Structure 1
Amino acid sequence: MRKAVGLFSGGLDSTLAALLVARQGIKVVGVHFLSPFWKKSTHVLKNALKFGFEVLEVELPEEYLEMLRDPVYGYGKNCNPCIDCKIFMLREARKIMEKVGASFVFTGEVVGQRPKSQLFWSLRVIERDSGLEGLLLRPLSAKLLPPTIPEREGLVDREKLLDIYGRSRKVQFKLAEEWGVEDFSSPAGGCLLTDAVFCARLRRLMQEKIFFSFQDVELLKLGRHFAMSDTFRLVVGRNQKENQRIMSFYEEGDFLFLPRGSKGPVGLGRGKPKSGDVQQAAALVARYCDQKGKALRVNVLSDEGEFSLLVSALSDELIAPYRI
């Protein structure tokens, strides 16, 4: 049976694209990429079960982070490298296409729907740089684009594809109603790389570390973040659940700040502290403890063992310059 590999985000467009392909008698193998930068979609598996698609959940390799540091086509408003991200995922999809014996790859992209990554020129660049020239089908806008190899060879009937253009989703909503597509995620948001606060933390991490991991990215999603100096960061938990998670990230070279005699957060220091950084970090952690207006003892765990500091909590005014 003929096969095609499609990128499944959990959104309406990717689901409709899969149905357009499947309704031509082609077996759909969906690929749902997993990453710390976006949540796993529950809609993908629901629609796969409903419409009979095969779905592969694939963890993005950490090489993705090297692309993120220096994307060829730059960032959007924050740290979202939309064009380079799509190229990266399609390169991975091409490998899966070859592995499962599929004939082509498809996506739910719509010409003109997004201002940078879905213009005619960027769609062409994405196809070329992903190594899928002629083998990348966009069923929702196919009639606006040059025919692909599967269309030219009769594997796909071009007349049964669509010519959707722009940001309006009236056509998609109408098709969803006709075809019974009820589970899909919102087209807006969802990717942390578009979030200004998260990206401020991420930029700091990329400046500090030659290489960083997905574990580092997970830490960025927790707590309050502070730059005690240009070489030393502090993460402070906001609740018990975050405190427990932050403690699980403690590793060689880190500093763990644990208040004594008062309910309060855990702090994790990472990097190379300069003179006074550890003392200031302990005082900052004390700011978020229940005990107010009194000197507080904070235990510090590091590679050199455990020691205790007696500190006075920093005021909000003194904390402000450190906040990321």
Structure 2
Amino acid sequence: MTSPRSCSTAGMVHTDSWFPAGRAKGGSTLALVLYSGSLASALAVRLAERAGVRHLRLVYFRSPFFQGEEEVGLQAQNLFGSTRFQCITLKRDFLSLGKRVTGFPFPCGRCRWLLLERVGRLARRLHADLVVTGEVVGRRALWATDLLALERAAGLAGCVVRPLSARVLPPTRAEEEGKVDRNAFLDLEEGDALGDRLRALATKLGIPPSPTGRECLFTDHGFVQRFLEFDSAAALTENMIQLLRFEHSYRMESGARVVVAVTSEEQARLQPLFLPTDIRLYVQMPGSPLALVRARWHEHTPEERERIIADAAERMAEVAELPRAAAWVVRFRCEWEGETRQMRLRVEGHTAPALISP
């Protein structure tokens, strides 16, 4: 069996489309659905069925950037009965997403490329005829030319059927060969009251208008900015991703990470994220904020460590809008020591923070 040809152009690897002529059991067309649990992906499944695809496999990729994944499999079972649902983890691939050079915009273009590239690998292994997605032209700023470029880069040129927007895109190989009925597809694009049209279509096709799909962290602009500011030389872990979800998560000039939890709900979320080498920072007063300070402590002198803690305390006091008098003395505990100590912050007449006895 011949491998796909590939060539490098402008930093991107383009792979020619290569789908073995394959048939599912009984001679029916085999389609892999890139399934997310969203309303759009559920509608794409139903439209593919109406277009004559009888053998579908739903493929869901797990990612540390997706929330609410537990509900997706159950939802698929409720909506599509015996249709096979396959869950595959791509956590390691997603953790390096920010470092990948694909030529596509971050985050949505790069994420779509990864998903298509991985489902393409599976499709070739299973001898599938096509890939079905719930993509809509223009959504997430990915227009027709972008979607076609993505499928070419993933080695799926002409093999990705997008039922919701198929009639504003060139016919795919499956449509040209009569494996699916193009007339069953739609011409939706971003805008044009897209949300209302999707909900109306869902009602018509017997799908709940608001299915419980996974939530992508990259839809939060604040998270995207914090992610891009993350030290690219450092290892990105699932723990760090959770820290980046906090509104008040900062990378300090020293390279330290400071996360400030102001509300009780935020503090409950922050508590389980402390690692043994982190420092816990707070003020001895009712309603005190809680801060997590993370640094490569072994690379700093004792004086530099004190400065890092003091800078973190200043940021915590600023974020929580603490009365200055109350914020002059902060308490902190090194998780690996368990001993609580105190520090007097910079005040008039003092040029540097000073440790004081517990």
TM-score when scaled to structure 1? Answer: 0.77
Matching residue's letter, 2:256: F
Task: Give me the whole-angstrom Cα distance separating, in 1, the residues matched to 2:225 and 2:329.
Answer: 31
How far is 1:286 from its partner? 5.9
Tell me whether 1:28 sits opposite 2:81 in the alignment: no
Matching residue's letter, 2:34: L
Within 5 Å, give how 1:216-227 maps onto structure 2: 216-222=240-246, 224-227=248-251
**How many correspondences in the alignment?**
306
User: 1:229 is paired with a residue of what secondary structure?
Assistant: coil
How far is 1:312 from its partner? 5.0
Match for 1:86 among 112, 117, 120? 112
C-alpha distance 291-145 of structure 1, shift in aligned 2 (>3 A): closer
Within 5 Å, give how 1:6-85 maps onto structure 2: 6-23=33-50, 24-40=52-68, 42=71, 45-46=74-75, 48-52=77-81, 53-75=83-105, 80-85=106-111
User: Which of structures 1 and 2 has the bigger CA Rg?
Assistant: 2
Matching residue's letter, 1:26: R
Matching residue's letter, 1:49: N
Task: Give me the whole-angstrom Cα distance separating, in 1, the residues matched to 2:287 and 2:141.
Answer: 48
User: 2:207 is paired with a residue of what secondary structure?
Assistant: coil
Q: Which moved more, 1:284-293 or 1:219-228?
A: 284-293
Within 5 Å, give how 1:201-280 maps onto structure 2: 201-207=226-232, 209-222=233-246, 224-251=248-275, 253-257=277-281, 259-260=283-284, 264-272=288-296, 274=304, 276-280=307-311
Task: Give me the whole-angstrom Cα distance separating, in 1, the residues matched to 2:190 and 2:271.
Answer: 47
Q: Identity, % of aligned pairs?
A: 27
Matching residue's letter, 1:28: L
Deviations 1:224-253 (A, max 9, x none): 223442411211223445435434333354
C-alpha distance 304-193 of structure 1, shift in aligned 2 (>3 A): same
Within 5 Å, give how 1:88-103 maps onto structure 2: 88-98=114-124, 102-103=128-129
Q: Is contact 2:199–2:209 with CA below 8 Å preserved after alignment? A: no
Matching residue's letter, 2:48: V
Q: Which moved more, 1:256-265 or 1:274-283?
A: 256-265
Q: Which moved more, 1:39-48 or 1:83-92?
A: 39-48
Deviations 1:139-177 (A, max 9, x none): 223344333333344322333333444532365444323
Within 5 Å, give how 1:132-143 maps onto structure 2: 132-143=156-167
User: 1:293 is paired with a residue of what secondary structure?
Assistant: coil
Deviations 1:35-89 (A, max 9, x none): 34343264774354133243334433222232323553353xxxx4222211101
Q: Is contact 2:120–2:156 with CA below 8 Å preserved after alignment? A: yes
C-alpha distance 263-175 of structure 1, shift in aligned 2 (>3 A): closer
C-alpha distance 222-134 of structure 1, shift in aligned 2 (>3 A): same
Task: Give me the whole-angstrom Cα distance separating, in 2, the residues matched to 1:250 and 1:120.
Answer: 44
How far is 1:221 from its partner? 1.4
C-alpha distance 100-66 of structure 1, shift in aligned 2 (>3 A): same
Deviations 1:70-129 (A, max 9, x none): 553353xxxx42222111011222233345553321112233x33731x22112111111
Task: Give me the whole-angstrom Cα distance separating, in 1, the residues matched to 2:240 and 2:262.
Answer: 18
Q: Gaps spanning 5+ residues in structure 2: where?
A: 1-24, 348-358
Q: Gaps spanning 5+ residues in structure 1: where?
A: 315-324
Q: CA RMSD of the aligned region, Å?
A: 3.5
TM-score when scaled to structure 2? Answer: 0.71
Matching residue's letter, 2:309: V
C-alpha distance 239-10 of structure 1, shift in aligned 2 (>3 A): same
Match for 2:325 among 282, 293, 303? 293
